[in-house]
Amino acid sequence: FCHLPRIRHLSLLAISPRPQMPPKRKASSKRKASSSEEEEEEIKPKTKRTKVASSPSPESKQPTNKVLPVHISFPQKIPNTLRVVTWNISGLAASQKKGFKHYVEAENADILVLTETKVNNEPVDPVIKDRYPHCYWSISDTKGYSGTAILSKHKPISVTKTLPGHPDPSLVKGRIITLEFNSCYLIGTYVVNAGAGLKTLDAKKKWNEHFETYIRDLDKKKPVIWAGDLNVAPTELDLANPKTNWNKTAGYTEAETTAFKNVLNPPEDSDHPKFVDIWRNRHPTDKHYTYFSYRFNCRTKGIGWRLDMFVVSERIAERVKMCEIRDEIYGASDHCPVDFSYIGIPDHSDKKSAPKHGGIAQLGEQQTEALWFLKVPRSIRGAPIFGSFFAQHFI
């Protein structure tokens, strides 16, 4: 109610009684959502509205900036490693207006896995092409929807943009690219979303079924690095509000989390090798997220999901020297990039594929020269101790 001015004469109180305000109506526990709020994007997990604005959880400790920092710098790349980054850019055109190139130049990754590119044609961008001579785009038939790309300084042996056995090729387009290198496969995916109200959960189940078969078939030939927006929060540590989202929100249902767990840890009687969610493996108790909705001030409140990740064949997990969420890189997209450093150098038999911007093509040659200088007999290379060292560092 409104306060009365200070009263100097007590007699005024008798003349001017305090005005009575009508009784307050009880606040409704629920606010009717606007039409725009009801139309949650199918490609994003639904964010639950909190009753009271809260500070980020102490367990999160992530930055709360809403725009890309002006000054971006990162530690130097770990020697003899390949730096791979996966990033959901939420539309290339939109991201370019918000600092996409600024981050890409600062990061200087050897390979970029981009998801949700939303491009309708392969972009012709001299800046990207000069830095990444080998660019591969998977584009959806639906205009301005989904889209996956892998930009590489290193030329792969082969490129595939299909998911073998999947009955709906139109659903697959824009969602998967596989590059084959000498020592491994790299799969970039923008996995199908279960949709608002879980309306496309069946399509997600179908994708998961065929993808597990595919990744296991590849793993029989070479180790696999799987990167991208996997559209699943594997555990309750991977989203801010697990209880209110469980079996209600895309990305955190029993069907989705179980399918992901089956890839990592197949039944013992299956004889399938294991895979490792490498960031979670290195940060077993941390609650850090890669996606914060632009809506409801989620970034400031620390309400997010960890949807973007790297999964690797268990037998090469020790070759991963670093995997970190680039927490501060937010604003050019509603997702943060994930950075990954791996001991494994693609073959550069094609000299044209050698990178121009501080890549590691020279390292493959240096390693070959080092072996020649040592003049190690082949019989010794096969010995148990030296053989394992050789395999770990030079294959």
DSSP state of 224: E
Do 378 and 328 lie in one domain? The reply is no
**208-217 confidence digits (pLDDT tens):** 999 999 999 9
User: By CB neighbour count within 10 A (0-12 exposed, 13-18 middle, 19+ buried), where does 279 fall?
Assistant: buried
For residue 127, the model assigns a pLDDT of 79
DSSP state of 109: -
Asked if residue 305 is part of any domain, the answer here is yes
Do 388 and 267 lie in one domain? The reply is no
For residue 189, the model assigns a pLDDT of 99
Q: Which residues contact 189 (CB under 8 A, 6 or more apart)?
A: 115, 148, 175, 176, 211, 226, 227, 228, 229, 230
The per-residue pLDDT of the chain, averaged, comes to 82
Do 125 and 188 lie in one domain? The reply is yes
Look up the domain containing 280 and give its range: 82-342
Asked if residue 227 is part of any domain, the answer here is yes
CATH number for the domain including 86? 3.60.10.10
* Structural contact between residues 308 and 86, judged by C-beta atoms closer than 8 angstroms: yes
Q: Tell me the catalytic residues.
A: 190, 229, 335
Do 325 and 248 lie in one domain? The reply is yes
Do 364 and 336 lie in one domain? The reply is no
Is the pLDDT score of 381 beyond 80? no
Q: Is 365 annotated as a binding residue?
A: no
Binning pLDDT at 50, 70 and 90, where does residue 272 land? very high
Mean pLDDT within 223-240 = 98
Q: Is 229 annotated as a binding residue?
A: yes
Q: Is 247 annotated as a binding residue?
A: no
Amino acid identity of residue 217, one-letter, is: D
Q: Which residues contact 137 (CB under 8 A, 6 or more apart)?
A: 117, 119, 122, 123, 147, 148, 149
Do 295 and 386 lie in one domain? The reply is no
Amino acid identity of residue 50, one-letter, is: T
Do 377 and 287 lie in one domain? The reply is no
DSSP state of 384: H
**311-321 confidence digits (pLDDT tens):** 999 999 999 99
Q: Is 88 annotated as a binding residue?
A: yes
Asked if residue 99 is part of any domain, the answer here is yes
For residue 376, the model assigns a pLDDT of 38
Do 149 and 221 lie in one domain? The reply is yes
Asked if residue 21 is part of any domain, the answer here is no
Whole-angstrom Cα distance, residue 19 to residue 176?
Answer: 69
**273-300 confidence digits (pLDDT tens):** 999 999 999 999 999 999 999 999 999 9
For residue 59, the model assigns a pLDDT of 54
Do 257 and 372 lie in one domain? The reply is no
Do 294 and 179 lie in one domain? The reply is yes
Number of structural domains, the chain? Answer: 2
Asked if residue 28 is part of any domain, the answer here is no
Q: Residue 192: count other Cβ atoms within 10 Å of its Cβ.
A: 24
* Structural contact between residues 301 and 55, judged by C-beta atoms closer than 8 angstroms: yes
Asked if residue 50 is part of any domain, the answer here is no
**84-121 confidence digits (pLDDT tens):** 999 999 999 999 999 999 999 999 999 999 999 999 99
For residue 22, the model assigns a pLDDT of 53
For residue 54, the model assigns a pLDDT of 45
Binning pLDDT at 50, 70 and 90, where does residue 230 land? very high
Do 250 and 177 lie in one domain? The reply is yes
> Which 3 state secondary structure label does DSSP give 204?
helix
Do 86 and 116 lie in one domain? The reply is yes
Asked if residue 144 is part of any domain, the answer here is yes
Asked if residue 248 is part of any domain, the answer here is yes
